[in-house]
Amino acid sequence: MDVRIGIRNTKSILFKGVIVFFAFLITIPLIIVLLYIIKQGVTQVNWHFLTHVPAPVGESGGGISNALIGSFLMVLMSSVLAIPVGMFAGIYLSENPTTKLAYYSGLCVDILQGVPSIVVGIVIYFWLVKPLGTFSALSGSVALAIMMLPIVIRSTEQTLRLLPASLKEAALSLGVPYHRVILKVIVPCGFAGILSGIMLSIARIIGETAPLLFTAFGNPYLSVSVTKPMESLPHLIFTYATSPYDEWHNLAWGASFILLMFVLILNIVTKLITRKWNIQL
């Protein structure tokens, strides 16, 4: 009997050891990438780097202020476009899960989530860029908003489904109109989950390059016009990393470090929110 127990304990220890080993193994590539980007990029970051536009070829210095402002504006515009639509769509799917419209809408959301970002960029190119006759930040924002929608919709839907039905029933029993129950009771109770989904969607689009190649295109100068081409961090990194100039390579490493920090912060905050409120995304 003691021998059998010993064998079981040995198997259990070995199994746990194998699990821990593979769990550690999958983190090694991420750690290597993080450390390498930090090593190459942190030395490039300073106040001048953050507040100046890129220098012409052959000149030292320069910064990424045009890309920082461009990324901020396009993420802001895409959020304004995607968040209201995504929230209302998620509310509808959570409140009417058995209707045919909800079924086919959910199916479309799942398909949209799997569409490659470059395909979204090409579609927006033919929908907006060609009719307008120019690349623009507006076109880039629409492409990013389309990529945000599935995450915002699903996070809103799943968060609201986790809320107890008694909340809505209690409010309706008091004679509160249905739309006020949704806006004043249901949505505020699920706000943490909805917010975490929004932040997760922003963390996804902030590093996208492919759709911006066909829409916003990029701009070496500082521009805040939404109807003109605009630079972004992913596009700047792509352009400078593939250039033959060492100075531009340094700018690309610095921009990669800044972008990495943004994505890490957004993901960490999202994890903290989901853990605190026990939300499943």
Both 120 and 151 in a single domain? Answer: yes
Query: What's the average model confidence in pLDDT over 239-256?
Result: 91
DSSP letters of 116-185?
-HHHHHHHHIIIIIHHHTS--HHHHHHHHHHHHHHHHHHHHHHHHHTS-HHHHHHHHHTT--HHHHIIII
Compute the CA torsion angle 144, 150, 155, 156 (nearest 10 deg).
90
Burial level of 10, CB count in 10 A (0-12/13-18/19+)?
exposed
Both 78 and 168 in a single domain? Answer: yes
User: What is the extent of the structural domain holding 18?
Assistant: 2-44
Both 102 and 37 in a single domain? Answer: no
- Is residue 257 within 8 A of residue 45, CB to CB? The reply is yes
pLDDT at 142: 97
Both 162 and 182 in a single domain? Answer: yes
The CATH number for 144's domain is 1.10.3720.10
CA distances from 226 to 57, 223, 262 (A): 27, 8, 23
Both 17 and 51 in a single domain? Answer: no
Both 259 and 133 in a single domain? Answer: yes
Burial level of 45, CB count in 10 A (0-12/13-18/19+)?
middle
Both 244 and 152 in a single domain? Answer: yes
Both 14 and 120 in a single domain? Answer: no
Crossing angle of helices 246-277 and 233-241, rounded to 10°: 140
pLDDT at 277: 60
pLDDT at 190: 87
CB atoms near residue 24 (< 10 Å): 10
Q: What percent of the chain has pLDDT over 90?
A: 59
Is residue 196 very low, low, confident or very high in pLDDT (cuts 50, 70, 90)? confident
- Is residue 197 within 8 A of residue 159, CB to CB? The reply is yes
| pLDDT of residue 281 exceeding 90 | no
Both 21 and 106 in a single domain? Answer: no
pLDDT at 2: 67
Burial level of 131, CB count in 10 A (0-12/13-18/19+)?
exposed
Both 70 and 195 in a single domain? Answer: yes
Both 95 and 230 in a single domain? Answer: yes
Choose among 115, 98, 121, 105: nearest CA to 154.
105
| Number of separate domains in the chain | 2
Distance from C-alpha of 216 to C-alpha of 48, rounded to nearest angstrom: 25
pLDDT, tens digit (0-9, with 9 covering 90-100), for 71-98: 999 999 999 999 999 999 999 999 998 8
Both 23 and 152 in a single domain? Answer: no
| pLDDT of residue 37 exceeding 80 | yes
